Amino acid sequence: MEKKILIIEDDKFLAQLLAKKLNQEHFHSLITPTGEEGLKKTEEENFDLIILDLLLPEMDGFEVLKKIKENEKTKRIPILILSNLGQKEEIKRGLELGATDYLVKANFTPNEIVEKVKVILKS
């Protein structure tokens, strides 16, 4: 059965590239460009993993992460933060709020991100 992945990312090009790579690896991915929309989707559907950007319009990724982890229905979904914010404080905050892992966009290729997704979903 295909694992479902939600990509909450406002960079359309990156989101589509990731979705394409994930789909090639037999994952089913869905893209939402805003935190609000992403939260709505987590309420409506079950996801095996969420890839979350932090710099989002309307509601930032930290807020989205917090809300997902506070919700009984969604709190067990692993969340992979994928952000340009690479400061230690931001990484620490993301992990403390419950993210499974934190990747700085500039340091990883889409293929490496897909590999990380596979590792998280196996554990």
The neighbour count for residue 86, using CB atoms within 10 Å, is 13
* Model confidence pLDDT, tens digit, residues 66-115: 999 999 999 999 999 999 999 999 999 999 999 999 999 999 999 999 99
Residue 52: Cβ-neighbour burial (10 angstroms; 0-12, 13-18, 19+): buried
Candidate CATH numbers 3.40.50.2300, 3.40.640.10, 3.40.109.10, 3.40.630.30; the one for domain 3-116: 3.40.50.2300
CB 53 within 8 A of CB 18: no
Please determine, for residue 1, whether its predicted confidence score (pLDDT) is greater than 80. no
Confidence of residue 58 (pLDDT cuts 50, 70, 90): confident
The neighbour count for residue 56, using CB atoms within 10 Å, is 24
Name which of 72, 73, 54 is nearest 64 in CA terms: 54
* Model confidence pLDDT, tens digit, residues 8-24: 999 999 999 999 999 99
* Interval 30-52 mean pLDDT: 97
What is the reported pLDDT for 106? 94
Please determine, for residue 56, whether its predicted confidence score (pLDDT) is greater than 80. yes
What is the reported pLDDT for 99? 98
Please determine, for residue 25, whether its predicted confidence score (pLDDT) is greater than 90. yes
* Interval 55-63 mean pLDDT: 94
Confidence of residue 123 (pLDDT cuts 50, 70, 90): low
